[in-house]
Chain A
Amino acid sequence: MNLSIAASLLLSLLREAAALQQAIAAAQAEGRDSLSNDEVSGIADRAQKSLDESRAAIAELPQG
């Protein structure tokens, strides 16, 4: 299926929102009112890893 960038973004946002909601629900089930600093660090590391992967994909494209 050929998705536009907007559709792809919406799907990615939905996936990320679902994962975040699950993490928040798990924290609340443990009696915490918020995600811990370590959990936030894990999510931040994943964002950086994805950015690095994007740079690798960009590097495969021809330069002007």
Chain B
Amino acid sequence: MNKIGMLDSQVIRAALLALVGLAGLIASFFGVDEALFSEKAARLVDALLLVLTTGSVIWAAYARATKPTPPITDGAVAKTAELQKSQEGGFARTGALSAVLLMALSACALVGFPQPKTFNDRLAAGYATVTAVSEATQTWIAAKRSEAQRLPVASQAAFLVQVRKDAENIIAQAQRAKDGLDIARDLQGIDLKSAEARLASTIVLLETLQAYLEDR
């Protein structure tokens, strides 16, 4: 996508206008308008500047939401092209899926689905997360194998060796989390406080693992 001039962007124009309003308000703060106008006129000027600033911000938000947003710098052109490329072929966007997940979880809460609260329920949630991480890793491996087939033959093996290393690391961490949950389960009947501590630390490990996967 070609870039447009900086001042052709409605958002930039609105931002500049808001800046003018803000500059006026700052000047007013230091008493410039009171030195120039009567007290009543100064108040009117302040009110006008506030309206100008607020209106500009609303205009910027409206323009960003409803108007085309062509890039205005070379860096933005490159990033826009990269974004368009990543969206080709029906790639599911993480942000959109996160929103769907959030909506689904909110919907669960709204319809009164129970949330895991007891020790056993939270333990089960931990195991379910291990399963999810493992299944996602299998999907990822399959996707990477397909991706490797599109690479030059000479570089396929090296690519898949790296995938193997990553996958081994992920599954080793997931196994560690599963073992931690097993220990928490065994401790439950002996020392609930230690079991709770073990469960909490394992959940932190799982969250770290999820964050690592989300970065892949």
Contacts and interface: CB of A to CB of B under 8 A. Distances in A.
Interface of A: 1-17, 19-21, 23-25, 28, 33-37, 39-40, 43-44, 46-48, 50-51, 53-55, 57-58, 61-64
Dominant SS at the B interface?
helix
**Range class of the B interface residue count:** 35 or more
Given A2-B143, A16-B131, A20-B128, A35 B121 contact: yes
B124 interface: yes
Interface string B184-215: 01000000000000000000000000100111
Dominant SS at the A interface?
helix
A51 B174 CA distance: 8
B116 interface: yes
Contacts of A55: 171
Query: Which residue, B91, B114, B174, has most C-beta atoms of chain A within 10 A?
Result: B114
A50 to B, nearest CB: 4
Contacts of B113: 21, 24-25
B152 interface: no
Contact of A61 (B120, B143, B146, B164): B164
A20 B124 contact: yes
Contacts of A19: 128
Contacts of A47: 127-128, 130-131, 134, 178
A17 B94 contact: no
Going nearest first, the 5 A-B pairs with the smallest beta carbon separation are A12-B132, A34-B118, A16-B128, A9-B136, A61-B164
A24 B112 CA distance: 12
A51 B163 CA distance: 17
Contacts of B141: 54, 57-58, 61
Contact of A44 (B142, B182, B214): B182
Contacts of A64: 161, 164-165
